[in-house]
Amino acid sequence: MIIIVAAMTRNHVIGKDNLIPWHIEEETQHYRNLVEGKTLLMGKATFDLMKHPYAHGHDIVVTHSRINHKAADVCGSVDGALKKAKEYGPDVFVIGGQSIYEQTIGIADKMLLSYIKKDYEGNKFFPKFSNVEWREVSVEEFTDFAYVVYIRKRNQTLQHI
């Protein structure tokens, strides 16, 4: 399953000048609990922002550069990264940034989204999506954000087969 994880404002801001424009400890911890130990797929800019890769999981980085990294798999395309992820197990967690969300939202099965309650300005955005394609299955309220889980509607049918 391809699972997107993101935090955004209600206006879909996810980043500003290569940074995340908020620091909300409770959201950071929540995010960590979701992704720690998992197979993570990310763009090169997001990878560069992660100071300490999470323990015991697999990091897969997409870049056009021919680089090697001792703590991550490096792939030259999103398709290549998804194939690599399958070697580690059925689920891959797509953790950004904007360019990677744009390239995977059309094929993702599930989205785990934190909506930050305060507004922030930014220049990186999560793609717009429609409730024609996505069904909200749960909402959990926290002090500074709401955590909302969506599944792609076609999967609801498949779940009953």
Ligand X SMILES: NC(=O)c1ccc[n+]([C@@H]2O[C@H](COP(=O)([O-])OP(=O)(O)OC[C@H]3O[C@@H](n4cnc5c(N)ncnc54)[C@H](OP(=O)(O)O)[C@@H]3O)[C@@H](O)[C@H]2O)c1
If one counts every other C-beta atom within 10 angstroms of the C-beta of residue 149, the result is 15
Contact pick of 49, 146, 148, 149 for ligand X (by CB under 6 A): 49
Characterise 28 by phi-psi region: left (phi > 0), alpha (psi -120 to 50), beta (else).
Answer: alpha
Residue 11 contacts ligand X per CB under 6 A: no
Q: Which is nearer to ligand X, 24 or 154 (CB)?
A: 24
Residue 18 contacts ligand X per CB under 6 A: yes
Residue 28 contacts ligand X per CB under 6 A: no
Tell me the window of 51-59, 63-71, 131-139, 151-159 that interacts with ligand X (CB under 6 A): 63-71
User: How many residues would you count in the chain?
Assistant: 161
If one counts every other C-beta atom within 10 angstroms of the C-beta of residue 46, the result is 24
Contact pick of 28, 72, 99, 109 for ligand X (by CB under 6 A): 99
Residue 95 contacts ligand X per CB under 6 A: yes
Contact pick of 39, 63, 85, 93 for ligand X (by CB under 6 A): 63
Half-sphere exposure of 98 (CA within 13 A, CB side): 16
CB 113 within 8 A of CB 13: no
Name the CA radius of gyration of the chain, rounded: 15
Taking alpha carbons only, the member of 75, 11, 90 closest to residue 43 is 75
Contact positions with ligand X (CB under 6 A) in 106-145: 124
Distance of closest approach, residue 137 Cβ to ligand X, in angstroms: 19
Number of residues that bind ligand X (CB under 6 A): 29
DSSP state of 127: P
Binding site for ligand X (CB under 6 A): 6-8, 14-15, 18-20, 42-46, 49, 62-65, 76-78, 95-100, 103, 124
